Amino acid sequence: MAVTQSSTFRFSRHFTDVLSHGYILLMCVVFVMPFLAIFQYSLWKGATLSLDGILGNYQFVFGSFLTNLQNSLMVTVTAITISFLISLPAAYAIVRYTFPGKRLVLSFLSISLYVPAVTLGLGLILLYNFGHLFIGSIWSVVFAMVVGTYPLMLTPLIVALKDLPPSFEEAAYCLGASRWQVLTRIVLPLIGQGIAAGVLLSFIIVFNEYLVTLFVVGTIPSLQTAPLRIFGLIRTAGLLNTTAALAAAMQIVSFVVVIAFFRIVGTRYLKGTYLI
């Protein structure tokens, strides 16, 4: 199999390689371009880079936008917790029990991912107002987020529970553990990675969500989350350095969380969820 490669062949091989890597690099740059533009603008005051600008803008973020950031944080933490609390029993039922119509149930529980955000938002605000539910409360947003994102918690939990052999739980019962002990000392620790994957996916979506929130609390300034505030500001005030600082801060936090997750937990439970 002694094939002498001509120099033209080698050149064209290298050329295609360079072109390929260059293409990947170009696309990667395109992906981060919007973020870098926002970040760059957040470092400016007006139209020029200034230290004054950097400190001033980010201070403004933690001053003026504090309510929005608090709302965002509260909604994210609460929505993820509630998602977990409703998904874990459902995942357990789906994995450990047999019952007719299991596939139908699973499809039904995943359907909210495929409903357009505008439809869900409009339906929820009309339902809330008509049913006098959660009027003027941040819980209107929380449950909107829960219903929209709990399938992202359900899927990794199902995968993680499938990986856990039932014999572990059965052995614990045999050794005299109570249901609560089995749950907290056997099941939860061993599906920890799945829980983390679900938390990550939900966090990315809920933290940066603005569309459903727009419909639900768009008219109540004190309940607005940070992305919604950004949306409103762009529409009313145009391109401000401070808005850019808020947007950049949100993206940086999201990115750090994702990278930390990839480093600490790994990507096993993200298979099939389009983040990997």
Partner 1 sequence: MVKLMAERETTVTPFQIGEVVETGARAPALLKTRLPVLLLLAPALAVTLVFLVAPVLFLLFISFTAGRSFLQAVPTFTLTNYTSIFTDYLENLRVSLGLALLATLVNLVFGFPFAYILIRKVQYRDIVRAFMIFPMFGALYIAFGMRFLLLSNGMFGPLIKALNSIGIQIPIYGLHSVIFAMAIFTFPFMVMNIGAALSNIDPKLEEAAACLGAKRWQTFVRVLLPLAMPGILAGVLMCFGWNIGAFAEPVFLGGVAEQRAIAWTMYQRGIINFDFGLASAMGIVLMIIAFAVTYFSLRFSRGALAD
Name the residue with tokens 């809920």: 206
Binding string, residues 163-182; x marks residues near partner 1 by CB under 8 A:
--------------------
Q: Among residue numbers 79 through 108, which ones bind partner 1 (CB under 8 A)? A: 85-87, 89-90, 92-94, 97, 99, 105, 108
Query: Rule CB under 8 A: which of 142-161 touch partner 1?
Result: 143-144, 146-147, 150, 154
In the complex, minimum distance from the CB of residue 264 to partner 1, in angstroms, rounded to a whole number: 14
Number of H-type helices and E-type strands within the chain: 13, 2
Out of 119, 178, 181, 222, name the contact with partner 1 by CB under 8 A: 119
Q: Which of 18, 37, 135, 188 binds partner 1 (CB under 8 A)?
A: 37
Single residue of 114, 176, 189, 236 touching partner 1 by CB under 8 A: 114
What is the closest distance, in whole angstroms, from the C-beta atom of residue 187 to partner 1 in the complex? 13
Helix (H, G, I), strand (E, B) or coil at 171: helix
Q: 260 is written with which tokens?
A: 């930390």
Task: Locate all alpha helices (DSSP H) within the chain, ordered by sequence.
Answer: 7-42, 51-63, 66-96, 102-110, 117-130, 139-163, 166-174, 179-181, 188-190, 192-207, 211-217, 226-237, 241-264
> What CA–CA distances, in Å, run from 117 to 84, 147, 228?
21, 11, 14
Q: Which of 54, 190, 220, 258 is the binder for partner 1 (CB under 8 A)?
A: 258
Size of the site for partner 1 (CB under 8 A): 84
Residue 213 corresponds to which tokens in the numbers above? 């929130």
DSSP lists the bridge partners of residue 48 as 45
Is the Cβ of residue 55 or residue 256 nearer to partner 1 in the bound state? 256
Kindly identify the residues of this chain, within the stretch 40-69, that bind partner 1 according to CB under 8 A. 40-41, 47
Q: Does 11 bind partner 1 (CB under 8 A)?
A: no
Q: Which of 33, 49, 66, 171 binds partner 1 (CB under 8 A)?
A: 33
Pick the piece of the chain touching partner 1 (CB under 8 A) from 2-10, 59-67, 110-118, 186-194: 110-118
DSSP string, 197-247: HHHHHHHHHHHT--HHHHHHHTT-GGG--HHHHHHHHHHHH-S-HHHHHHH
Question: Looking at 52-60, 73-81, 169-177, 247-255, which segment touches partner 1 (CB under 8 A)?
Answer: 247-255
What's the rounded Cα separation, in Å, for the pair 33 and 194? 32
Backbone torsions φ then ψ of 266, nearest 5 degrees: 90, 180
**Residue bearing tokens 């970040």:** 39
Residues within window 212-241 making contact with partner 1, judged by CB under 8 A = 214-215, 218-219, 227, 230-231, 234-235, 239
- Selected from 61, 80, 125, 160, the binder of partner 1 by CB under 8 A is 125
Reported as half-sphere exposure (CB side, CA atoms, 13 A), residue 56 has a value of: 13
Two tokens, residue 38: 């926002």
Binding flag, residue 76, partner 1 (CB under 8 A): no
